[in-house]
Amino acid sequence: MKILKIFILLLVLTTGIAKAQFTKAELQVSGLTCALCAKATEKALRTLPFIGEIKTDLIRNTYLLTFKSGEQVNFDQISKKVQDAGFFVNSLKATFDFANVKVADNSFSYGGDTFHVMAGADKVSPGPTVVTIVDKGFAPKSVSKKYMGQVADVGTAKGRVYHVAI
C-alpha cells in the first residue's frame, strides 16, 4: 500500500511538471535577403532536438517554432543556430504555459534556468502566456538597453538567467 501511495504521488508530481513548458515561439530573424537564406536558417533550426515543427513567413522574416511536448527548450541554442547561419535574432516571443508554475519575486524557473520578469508580472495567469526575451542577442539593442538598465540581483537564481517581458 505504501508503494502505491508513493507511485501515485510521483505520478501527480511529474504530471504537474510536464504541463509547465514552452509550447511555441515566434522567432524574427534579421539579415535574411532571399529564400535560400531563410531555408538555410530553417535547416539549421531543424537540427535542434526540441523543435517539432517550423513554419516560415518570408514576408515578415519570421519562423513559428512549435516545440516537442516534454522536451526542454534552450533559447541560447536557437540564437546560436541563427547566428551560425549568418543572421541575427531580432525578436523571440515564446508561449509558456504557467499552469502549476509559481511566479515569486518576478521570477519563475523552467528546466534549471531562471526567467526574470522585467515588465508585466501582473499579467501572468495560469495558462499559456506570451513572454518576450529581452536579453542581448534576443532583441534589438534599444529594447535590451531599456530593460537591462533595470536589472537587479535575482538572488537565488538557478542556471542561466533570462530576462523577459510579458
Task: Provide the percentage of residues in the chain whose pLDDT is more than 70.
Answer: 83
* Domains of the chain, CATH where assigned: 20-165 (3.30.70.100)
Cβ atoms of 25 and 36 within 8 Å: the answer is: no
Q: Which residue has the higher pLDDT, 152 or 9?
A: 152
Write the pLDDT tens digit of every residue in 44-86.
999 999 999 999 998 999 999 999 998 999 999 999 999 999 9
Element containing residue 29 per DSSP (H, E): strand 22-30
Q: Is the pLDDT of residue 132 over 70?
A: yes
β-pair type (161-165, 88-97): unpaired
Taking only the tens place, the pLDDT of each residue in 23-48 is 999 999 998 888 899 999 999 999 99
**Residue among 164, 74, 72, 67 at smallest CA distance from 123:** 164
